[in-house]
Amino acid sequence: MSNQNINYGEGGAASCVLVPPFNCDGKNYDENYISKIASISNSGIEETIKRELILSEILKNKRKGKNKKFIDDHFIIIDDHCILDKTNKNLNILNKRGCNIDVEQKYVVLYSKNGSCKPLKKGDIVSIDYQNMSKLLGIIPYKFIGKYGDKYIIQNTDNELFLSDKITRFCGDLGNYNILHKLFSEPKKRRKYIKHLIEAINFMAKNGLVHCDLKLQNLVCNEKEQLKIIDFGGSFSLKDKKYFNFDNICQEIKIDDEFTINKRTQYNTNFTNKILDLVSIHTEYYTPPEILILKLILINKTQEEILQHILKTYNLENDFLITDNITKIIRFIMLNKKKMFYELQCNPTVESFIYKFDTFSMGIIFREMFKILNHNFNVIIEDSLKDLIQKMTDLNFNTRLNIKQILKHKYFSK
């Protein structure tokens, strides 16, 4: 990793995602699976793919007894993979399906359960594409009948037929307004699905897993309203020494005093890169500020440079009170590097800042979801939920709620 880069690997690693999946020789997956095809000639993408395979293996090993149903209900992981054989036959098949392969590069094909949309068929429920419209009272469902040229034939509840240029389905990621409205517009239902997502984070924290890339696009839902977390390409485990062993760097941190730690972060790129590589950042807006600050410190950014980076990331340039608070957080981290590194590498607990990474990201997701629902559908959420979101996205990690406190929040007591 470059010592000027605070990110890990690369997001958006797939060259194409296919449903039904492309099958390598010997594979026979149907539309209940997807295939994600990615080049591994790029070192950043290769690292992301490796990380996802490792985390999938860790979760597979935990998929036993009562954990099996929980994992299957909350996560989608890589079940299988193969190296793409670039024969003319395979290249033609992929080209016809809109997947352009560079014959000079090496590709991996990743197979996972399909937690989103299956191929569109007659009778599926859809809506007219509305996302460029200003305000909506609700979403009107139609039945998909077929195609007429480039247009979609749809049928309303009175059996009247219409033609539409674009349609939206009730499946996909949480960037889909249909799913947001269906799952989160009504109080009882949204509490159920918010609890579902919080319990998924709690499971990860209990098992030493940090996702690092939770965002709207990494939460998917199918037409049965099964909501799951995907894309573990930036994740890591704090409890699995087979794949993530921190003993050596932990010993260095234990022995060193603050002065030596400061010197290491300034002159020892090997030391800093080990820490930089551990914690992934793919989307900075969903990343808690202490992670960004710690990484920016490690690449020798000044306090003012760090402050401006944080303010720009969260669109806070004109908020003077928050500017003062963030300055205090930056100073605290600068003065407590050893404590922060020790907590991260040697003794993380559920209360540690590293386990507040995913809870912060999920809080940002909730905030963005309800902004969309309020703007487009006039959805008003409970005061207790507003309070929960505010406390999950507290910029100060010392006062931000940890996962145990979130589960005990008054929002879930009803």
pLDDT at position 338 is 87
Local structure of residue 75 (DSSP, 8 states) = B
What's the pTM value of the predicted model, to 2 decimals? 0.92
* Mean pLDDT of the 18-27 span: 95
- What residues contact residue 183 under an 8 Å CB cut-off, 6+ apart? 189, 190, 193, 221, 225, 227
For the purposes of burial, counting CB atoms within 10 Å of the CB of 134, is it exposed (0-12), middle (13-18) or buried (19 or more)?
exposed
- The answer to whether residues 69 and 163 belong to one domain is no
- The answer to whether residues 95 and 158 belong to one domain is no
Ranges 58-62, 158-162, 345-349, 371-375: which has the least confidence: 345-349
pLDDT at position 23 is 96
Cβ contact 130:111 at 8 Å:
no
- The answer to whether residues 40 and 80 belong to one domain is yes
Provide the pLDDT confidence category of residue 113 given band limits of 50, 70 and 90.
very high
96 belongs to a structural domain: yes
The answer to whether residue 334 scores a pLDDT higher than 60 is: yes
- The answer to whether residues 58 and 10 belong to one domain is yes
pLDDT at position 242 is 76
* Mean pLDDT of the 278-296 span: 88
- The answer to whether residues 106 and 144 belong to one domain is no
pLDDT at position 289 is 96
Ranges 163-177, 212-226, 278-292: which has the least confidence: 278-292
Provide the pLDDT confidence category of residue 248 given band limits of 50, 70 and 90.
confident
- The answer to whether residues 67 and 94 belong to one domain is yes
Residue 311 half-sphere exposure toward CB, CA atoms < 13 A: 18
Work out the angle between the directed axes of helices 320-335 and 289-298 (0-180°, nearest 10): 50
pLDDT 10s digits, 134-176? 455 568 899 999 999 999 999 999 999 999 999 999 999 999 9
pLDDT at position 299 is 84
350 or 352, which is more confident? 352
323 belongs to a structural domain: no
Distance CA 283, CA 11 (A): 8
pLDDT 10s digits, 371-390? 999 998 999 999 999 999 99
- The answer to whether residues 47 and 139 belong to one domain is no
Distance CA 240, CA 237 (A): 6
Q: Where in the sequence is the domain holding 50, given as residue range(s)?
A: 1-114
- Averaged pLDDT of the chain: 89
Provide the pLDDT confidence category of residue 1 given band limits of 50, 70 and 90.
very low
- The answer to whether residues 68 and 139 belong to one domain is no
Q: Which of 75, 91, 114 is the last residue of a domain?
A: 114
pLDDT at position 131 is 54
Work out the angle between the directed axes of helices 356-377 and 383-392 (0-180°, nearest 10): 140
pLDDT at position 11 is 44
Distance CA 367, CA 359 (A): 12
- The answer to whether residues 55 and 137 belong to one domain is no
394 belongs to a structural domain: no
- The answer to whether residues 38 and 84 belong to one domain is yes
Provide the pLDDT confidence category of residue 181 given band limits of 50, 70 and 90.
very high
162 belongs to a structural domain: yes
Distance CA 107, CA 214 (A): 25
Work out the angle between the directed axes of helices 66-74 and 43-62 (0-180°, nearest 10): 140
The answer to whether residue 226 scores a pLDDT higher than 60 is: yes
Provide the pLDDT confidence category of residue 403 given band limits of 50, 70 and 90.
very high
45 belongs to a structural domain: yes
Instruction: Provide the number of structural domains found in the chain.
Output: 2
pLDDT at position 365 is 98
211 belongs to a structural domain: no
For the purposes of burial, counting CB atoms within 10 Å of the CB of 43, is it exposed (0-12), middle (13-18) or buried (19 or more)?
exposed
Residues in the chain: 414
Provide the pLDDT confidence category of residue 9 given band limits of 50, 70 and 90.
very low
pLDDT at position 332 is 95
Q: Which of 114, 148, 179 is the last residue of a domain?
A: 114
- What residues contact residue 223 under an 8 Å CB cut-off, 6+ apart? 117, 118, 124, 125, 169, 170, 171
Give the residue among 57, 51, 56, 41 at the shortest CA–CA distance from 9. 51
- The answer to whether residues 32 and 93 belong to one domain is yes
Distance CA 151, CA 144 (A): 11
pLDDT at position 19 is 93
* Mean pLDDT of the 203-207 span: 95
Distance CA 38, CA 56 (A): 17
- What residues contact residue 33 under an 8 Å CB cut-off, 6+ apart? 19, 20, 21, 79, 111, 112, 113, 114
pLDDT at position 3 is 45
10 belongs to a structural domain: yes
104: domain CATH number is: 3.30.200
Local structure of residue 189 (DSSP, 8 states) = H
For the purposes of burial, counting CB atoms within 10 Å of the CB of 58, is it exposed (0-12), middle (13-18) or buried (19 or more)?
buried
272 or 83, which is more confident? 83
Residue 292 half-sphere exposure toward CB, CA atoms < 13 A: 24
pLDDT at position 132 is 55
413 belongs to a structural domain: no
134 or 17, which is more confident? 17
- The answer to whether residues 38 and 129 belong to one domain is no
